[in-house]
Amino acid sequence: MTLRAIIVDDDASARERLHTLLEPFEHVSILRECNGGRSAVAALRSERYDLVFLDVEMPDLDGFGVIMEVGAAHMPAIIFTSAYSEYAVRAFEAYALDYLLKPFDAARLAAAIGRVNVHGADPRVSGLLTHLQERLWDKHPQSIAIKAGDEYVVTPLAEVDWIEADGNYVKVWVNKRARLMTKTLMTLEREVLDPEMFVRVHRSAIVNTNRIASVEASHHGDMTLVLRDGSHVPCSRRYRERLEGRIYFSS
């Protein structure tokens, strides 16, 4: 059986090295390479693959973010390629998932490929995501410090109205004033923001639910959130269920 594979890594040299190491494996066919999480999501949604070599740390959307966006049930078999922190490696081991800790060699790659199971979605992936989220969401900061020139401006998160993706950065909006922060939206969602306060409503927007004043519905399932400062933030149909899980809409 030929395994239809995709390589996802923002490091070109890492993709090239993995491609070279895979050459002896005639039953593994590399159909595509992606240099970031966002392009990987698009590829995984548009074509069927049996196997994905998935980097964990990427600036636009990390490996866990890719799984969240695509959905664990719709992911092919995953071999993580990672230089990630020790606690994450322990998490991989706890859920018996395959990972290649960089730098890895041909023997380690062969062992990982030999353990690949392509028969349906792996429920362990969902378990791993839940585990990591619980670890990361255990404690949440009360404020964020955003660099502005030679100083850091400290802003209580409770005062943040919404956060907007801006490439590999985000704009943090407070009273219609934006400050640029060198983090991705997914990183803030996964590592910083309290999910009891903040909710993703669009691929490029997270809102503070305490700052929502009203909701305007459209005929296509999308909505517009009107915040207390007068800002309008789109809520796409895809993320509507998350919002409805936080706000009760009466009939």
The domains found in the chain, sorted by start residue, are: 3-136 (3.40.50.2300), 143-244 (2.40.50.1020)
Q: What is the number of other CB atoms lying within 10 angstroms of the CB of residue 153?
A: 13
Question: What is the predicted pLDDT for the residue at 147?
Answer: 83
Nearest-10 Cα torsion for 30, 63, 122, 126: -170
Question: What is the predicted pLDDT for the residue at 198?
Answer: 94
- Residue 213, classified by CB atoms within 10 Å of its CB into exposed (0-12), middle (13-18) or buried (19+), is exposed
Please say if the pLDDT value at position 30 is more than 60: yes
Mean pLDDT over 178-189 rounds to 90
Question: What is the predicted pLDDT for the residue at 115?
Answer: 84
Question: What is the predicted pLDDT for the residue at 72?
Answer: 84
Q: How many residues does the chain have?
A: 251
pLDDT digits (tens, 9 = 90+) for 50-104: 999 999 888 788 888 888 889 888 899 999 888 765 546 666 766 667 888 888 8
Please say if the pLDDT value at position 138 is more than 60: no
- Report in angstroms the alpha-carbon separations of 212 from 64, 107, 171, 220, 222: 28, 54, 18, 21, 16
The per-residue b/e assignment along 61-78, b for 16 or more CB within 10 angstroms, e otherwise, is bbbbbbbbbbebeebbbb
pLDDT digits (tens, 9 = 90+) for 210-246: 999 999 987 778 899 999 999 999 999 888 888 888 8
Question: What is the predicted pLDDT for the residue at 97?
Answer: 75
Please say if the pLDDT value at position 142 is more than 90: no
Question: What is the predicted pLDDT for the residue at 139?
Answer: 63
pLDDT confidence of 180, banded at 50, 70, 90? very high
Please say if the pLDDT value at position 173 is more than 60: yes
Mean pLDDT over 165-185 rounds to 92
Mean pLDDT over 7-19 rounds to 94
Question: What is the predicted pLDDT for the residue at 83?
Answer: 75
Q: Percentage of the chain with pLDDT > 70?
A: 91
List, in order, residues 6 or more apart from 244 with CB less than 8 Å away: none
Question: What is the predicted pLDDT for the residue at 96?
Answer: 63
Question: What is the predicted pLDDT for the residue at 134?
Answer: 65
* CA pair distance 205, 84, nearest whole angstrom: 27
Question: What is the predicted pLDDT for the residue at 190?
Answer: 81
Question: What is the predicted pLDDT for the residue at 53?
Answer: 96
**Checking phi first, is residue 244 left (phi over 0); if not, alpha (psi -120 to 50) or beta?**
alpha
Question: What is the predicted pLDDT for the residue at 73?
Answer: 84
